[in-house]
């Protein structure tokens, strides 16, 4: 799963949050991990399911889980993030804490009942949560209008539930930061939840098993009026004199080298073909606090 075309959303919101605020992301907000400086090597080791995979081969490759960076386990079950994020926010408020939650959902997944349940609970209990709806126009091959995004906006559903709601250009990094900071401040001051519909475009395929040319014109993204978030941020910074073409080229090369070096390092701990996977003994660990007798016996039978 990629975030091509949607990079600004997760990364700018992460900068507007405190490090101990809890994010309940979908697979499209991997940029939160990068903004929170989770080592790329760890992420790549999970992609390779190798001996340093932090989740020991128990999760799908991109379904990260980084508790100490406030990144709740990505779940393949869509919309669960909304109810979990609202519940976490309610718990934080009940404890008298000032930590807030940031919950994420896609346009398609708003059709799940969890979305509506989360809105009701967020409103009724004034949960300190940012309810992010990423409207990237597509739910695999299904256009967002099928989930109701044209008859009314997704943000409009929050208004119907009595929740302060915004519809924001998700490809404008600065706007994402500003709207997120406003919503975070409201949540922290106990003024209640905020819903934000981020309007963006899923520029890449849904996943590596998807071929978008089967259901949309190949050049569709180039016609999207909100453009490319990275190019726009660059243009803005150059215009206000905070950045230059030369700096951009240099940093792009630096980052590319960083990614390649991280990949090389991760591959030393095993590749998909290399067979350096977590030992079979690890499948008995981390399930029970004290390993029950029958599991100890099974482990002995395997001789590991
Ligand atoms: C509850 C549930 N229903 C269906 C699926 C299958 N599924 C996986 S991704 C996806 C499309 C989701 O689209 P959207 O919510 O717009 O998110 P996006 O992929 O665009 O970020 C579907 C239907 C699932 N994983 N979970
Ligand atoms: Mg979508």
Tens digit of pLDDT per residue, the chain (304 long)? 999 999 999 999 999 999 999 999 999 999 999 999 999 999 999 999 999 999 998 899 999 999 999 999 999 999 999 999 999 999 999 999 999 999 999 999 999 999 999 999 999 999 999 999 999 999 999 999 999 998 899 999 999 999 999 999 999 999 999 999 999 999 999 999 999 999 999 999 999 999 999 999 999 999 999 999 999 999 999 999 999 999 999 999 999 999 999 999 999 999 988 888 888 888 888 889 999 999 999 999 998 7
Residue 272 is predicted with a pLDDT of: 85
Residue 291 is predicted with a pLDDT of: 94
**Among 1, 80, 56, residue whose Cα is nearest residue 33:** 1
Q: CA 166, CA 186: separation in Å to the nearest integer?
A: 13
Residue 276 is predicted with a pLDDT of: 87
Measured by CA distance, the residue closest to atom 19 of ligand 1 is 139
Residue 70 is predicted with a pLDDT of: 97
CATH numbers and ranges of domains, the chain: 7-36+71-242 (3.40.50.970)
Q: Kindly state if the Cβ of 167 falls inside 6 Å of ligand 1.
A: no
Ligand 2 center–CA 91 separation, angstroms: 29
Atom of ligand 1 nearest to the CA of 139: 13
The answer to whether residues 85 and 74 touch, using CB atoms and an 8 Å cutoff, is: no
Q: Kindly state if the Cβ of 76 falls inside 6 Å of ligand 1.
A: yes
DSSP state of 220: G
Residue 283 is predicted with a pLDDT of: 87
CB neighbours of residue 251 within 10 Å: 12
Residue 189 is predicted with a pLDDT of: 96
Please give all residues whose CB falls under 5 A of ion ligand 2, grouped by chain where several chains appear: 106-107, 136, 139
Ligand 1 center–CA 238 separation, angstroms: 37
Q: Kindly state if the Cβ of 85 falls inside 6 Å of ligand 1.
A: no
Measured by CA distance, the residue closest to atom 17 of ligand 1 is 106
Ligand 1 center–CA 75 separation, angstroms: 11
Residue 286 is predicted with a pLDDT of: 86
The pick from 108, 117, 148 for probing ligand 1's pocket by mutation, whose C-beta has the most ligand atoms within 8 angstroms, reads: 108
As a three-state string, the secondary structure of 172-206 is: CHHHHHHHHHHHHHHHHCCCCCEEEEEECCCCCCC
Q: Kindly state if the Cβ of 255 falls inside 6 Å of ligand 1.
A: no
Residue 166 is predicted with a pLDDT of: 98
Ligand 1 center–CA 279 separation, angstroms: 32
DSSP state of 79: T
Q: Kindly state if the Cβ of 170 falls inside 6 Å of ligand 1.
A: no
CB neighbours of residue 99 within 10 Å: 19
């Amino acid at each position: 799963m990629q975030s091509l075309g949607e990079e600004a959303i997760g990364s700018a919101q992460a900068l507007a949050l405190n490090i101990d605020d809890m994010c309940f992301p979908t697979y499209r907000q991997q940029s939160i991990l990068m903004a929170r400086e989770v080592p790329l090597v760890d992420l790549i080791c999970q992609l390779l399911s190798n001996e340093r995979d932090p989740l020991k081969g128990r999760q799908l490759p991109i379904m990260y889980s980084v508790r100490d960076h406030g990144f709740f386990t990505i779940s393949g079950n869509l919309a669960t993030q909304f109810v979990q994020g609202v519940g976490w926010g309610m718990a934080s408020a009940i404890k008298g804490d000032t930590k807030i939650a940031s919950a994420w959902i896609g346009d398609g997944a708003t059709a799940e009942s969890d979305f509506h349940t989360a809105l009701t609970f967020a409103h009724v209990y004034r949960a300190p949560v940012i309810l992010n709806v990423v409207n990237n126009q597509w739910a695999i091959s299904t256009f967002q209008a099928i989930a109701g995004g044209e008859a009314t906006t997704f943000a409009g559903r929050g208004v119907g539930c009595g929740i302060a709601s915004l519809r924001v250009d998700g490809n404008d990094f600065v706007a994402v930061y500003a709207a997120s900071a406003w919503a975070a401040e409201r949540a922290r001051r106990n003024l209640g939840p905020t819903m934000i519909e981020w309007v963006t475009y899923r520029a890449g395929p849904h996943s590596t098993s998807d071929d978008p040319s089967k259901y949309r014109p190949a050049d569709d993204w180039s016609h999207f009026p909100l453009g490319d978030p990275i190019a726009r941020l660059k243009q803005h910074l150059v215009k206000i004199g905070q950045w230059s073409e030369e700096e951009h080229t240099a940093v792009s090369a630096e980052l590319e080298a960083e990614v390649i070096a991280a990949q090389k390092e991760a591959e030393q701990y095993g590749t998909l073909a290399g067979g350096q996977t977590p030992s079979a003994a690890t499948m008995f660990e981390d399930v029970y606090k004290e390993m029950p007798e029958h599991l100890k016996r099974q482990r002995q039978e395997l001789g590991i």
